[in-house]
């Protein structure tokens, strides 16, 4: 793993812990003016709405692959990592434990409310972060926003379906769609359907 303590962007690996960096501004007057002009959010609720937009997104991931492999990996994560994350304190405050996304099937979707500071300060969370990076690289885990996991679920994909994905970037949802296409096949059978996405520039 690279050393990027100097904060030089050329030496950074986006998957690892950060060195020195500047936080992006989270206040944009043009943004506020535009959305207030749409009258989507009542004025009395605006401050709460805008404060929510400024919060960090949680780290969410799903375990991919075939059922037996997914169950084995889930048991490893729960037994080797999650079991050590109960009542962990950083700066005197308890870190929220991993949260199962109950609407995702078979306990394969999870949420972690982590900050970079927690990952750096806690050995158990740091080890989990390294594990997730490694498993993401080999395709066993997909670090994917929870909202992106929903469309493939509600489509109820079968092995004979023909799927055209008009929003196929960066690819985590695409991989999920293809998994579902093949997972509904009987053992030893191939999917009769297919997946397609527009080519770059079309």
Task: Label residue 27 by pLDDT band (50, 70, 90).
Answer: confident
Domain count, the chain: 3
Question: Given the structure tokens 């023909």, which residue do they identify?
Answer: 162
| Angle at CA of residue 108, ends 187 and 118, nearest 5° | 150
∠ CA 41-44-50 to the nearest 5 degrees?
55
The reply to whether 90 and 131 lie within a common domain is: yes
Indicate whether 65 and 125 sit together in one domain.
yes
* 75 and 133 co-located in one domain: yes
137 and 77 within one domain: yes
Confirm whether 80 is domain-assigned: yes
Q: What is the mean pLDDT of the chain?
A: 83
Same domain, 79 and 97: yes
Taking CA atoms, 30 is separated from 36, 85, 126, 146, in Å, by: 10, 41, 38, 28
Of 180, 146, 126, the residue nearest 58 (C-alpha): 146
| Residues 96 and 166 reside in one and the same domain | no
CA distances (Å), 178 to each of 46, 164, 194, in order? 40, 11, 8
In a domain, residue 4? The reply is: no
Give yes or no: residues 136 and 169 share one domain: no
Residues 138 and 81 both lie in one domain: yes
Residue 3 lies in a domain: no
Question: What's the pLDDT tens digit per position in 83-136?
Answer: 888 888 888 888 888 999 999 999 999 999 888 788 888 888 889 999 999 999
Domain encompassing residue 153: 149-196
What count of Cα atoms within 13 Å lies in the side-chain half-sphere of residue 135? 22
Domain presence at residue 184: yes
Torsion angles phi and psi, residue 4, rounded to 5: -130, 40
> Could you give the percent of the chain with pLDDT greater than 70?
87
- Is residue 173 a part of any domain in this protein? yes
């Amino acid at each position: 793993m690279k050393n990027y303590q100097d904060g030089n962007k050329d030496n950074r690996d986006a998957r690892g812990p950060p060195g020195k960096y500047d936080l992006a501004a989270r206040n944009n007057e043009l943004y506020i003016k535009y959305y207030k002009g749409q009258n989507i959010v009542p004025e009395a609720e605006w401050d709460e709405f805008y404060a929510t937009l400024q919060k960090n997104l949680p780290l969410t991931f799903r375990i991919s692959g075939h059922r037996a492999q997914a169950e084995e990996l889930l048991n490893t994560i729960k037994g080797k990592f999650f079991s050590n994350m109960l009542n962990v304190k950083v700066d005197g405050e308890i870190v929220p434990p991993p949260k199962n996304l109950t609407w995702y099937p078979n306990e394969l979707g999870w949420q972690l409310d982590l900050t970079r500071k927690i990952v750096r300060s806690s050995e158990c969370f740091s080890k989990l972060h390294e594990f997730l990076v490694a498993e993401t690289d080999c395709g066993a885990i997909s670090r994917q926003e929870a909202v992106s996991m929903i469309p493939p679920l509600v489509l109820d994909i079968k092995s004979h379906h023909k799927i055209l994905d008009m929003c196929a970037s960066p690819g985590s949802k695409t991989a999920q769609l293809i998994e579902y296409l093949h997972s509904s096949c009987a053992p030893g059978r191939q999917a009769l359907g297919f997946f397609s996405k527009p080519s770059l520039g079309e």
